[in-house]
Amino acid sequence: MTESQVAVIPGGTGSVGSCLVPKLLDRGFKVAVTYLLPDEATALEEKLDVDETRLIIRRVDAVDTNALTSFFQEASERFGPINVMASLVGGWSGGRDVSETDDVRLERMLDLNLKTAWNATKAALPHMSEDWGRIILMGSKHAQETPTGQAAYNMAKAGVVALAHSVAAELLDTETTCNALLPSVINTEATRAALPYSDYVKWPQPEEIAQVINFLASRESKVINGGAVPVWGSALI
């Protein structure tokens, strides 16, 4: 371990987070993670060999502004100023054109993808380290290339990219940067089940996305700020 820094990862027990958290711990970070699905939290805890002095795992709904704000407060009080915040909460719901999208589906996509990123960023900002900080948000390739049948998702992810640009501009005179990643469909069991007839061979792997985040979550990435970073490789969707 070469450094003792702090990372907060909302949604850190999912497919990308479960690849990222061990990397951060190996680098000496203290890590605070939120989850919603207990099975994911159990799987991550069993995968890791660390105690509560270096890892906090809490069940928190990132759509709940007060709950997420309290979590960041706890993480900062326990571990100190935050160096890295990577917001990995999100989800996809498609299959509907605009004329067929009801308010429930629209609000779900905005809450799950945009509001969670907003809540996490706003909660993190007061606790970011003055030494160095990295805020990383999960956008989507579909914020730029907008396929039909999922306008609510496309719109929510475009909002995440705009949020990253806005925060980066606000933080220009600080040591904190903010960037958004633009993955295509990530090759997970859940996405393969949701899109059973798709050619998933070229979809990016969770491990590959985690490797990019791991670099952005470092001092060496300081020249990348306000970016919309493509991480879809050769995937077509």
| pLDDT score for 92 | 79
Q: What CATH number is associated with residue 187?
A: 3.40.50.720
Cα 64 to Cα 72: distance, rounded to the nearest angstrom: 13
Pick out the chain residues at pLDDT < 50: 1-2
| pLDDT score for 191 | 66
Per the structure, the count of domains in the chain is: 1
Please, how many CA atoms are within 13 Å of residue 73, restricted to the half-sphere of its CB? 6
Residue 235, domain member (yes or no):
no
State pLDDT tens for residues 12-68.
999 999 999 999 999 999 999 999 999 999 999 999 989 889 999 999 999 999 999
Q: Rounded to the nearest 5 degrees, what angle is found at the Cα of 237, between the Cα atoms of 149 and 100?
A: 5
Residue 55, domain member (yes or no):
yes
Residue 173, domain member (yes or no):
yes
Cα 96 to Cα 26: distance, rounded to the nearest angstrom: 43
Cα 97 to Cα 221: distance, rounded to the nearest angstrom: 39
At 59, give phi and psi (nearest 5°): -80, 110
171, 178 Cβ separation under 8 angstroms:
yes
9, 75 Cβ separation under 8 angstroms:
no
Cα 166 to Cα 175: distance, rounded to the nearest angstrom: 16
9, 21 Cβ separation under 8 angstroms:
yes
Residue 237, domain member (yes or no):
no
Cα 157 to Cα 137: distance, rounded to the nearest angstrom: 10
124, 101 Cβ separation under 8 angstroms:
no
| Domain, as residue range, for 181 | 6-230
Residue 236, domain member (yes or no):
no
Residue 1, domain member (yes or no):
no
| pLDDT score for 2 | 47
The pTM score is 0.93
Look-up: residue for tokens 């475009």? 158
181, 139 Cβ separation under 8 angstroms:
yes
| pLDDT score for 60 | 98
DSSP calls for 161-206:
HHHHHHHHHHTTTSSEEEEEEE--S---HHHHHHSTTS--TTSPPH
DSSP calls for 119-164:
HHHHHHGGGB-SS-EEEEEE--GGGTS--TTBHHHHHHHHHHHHHH
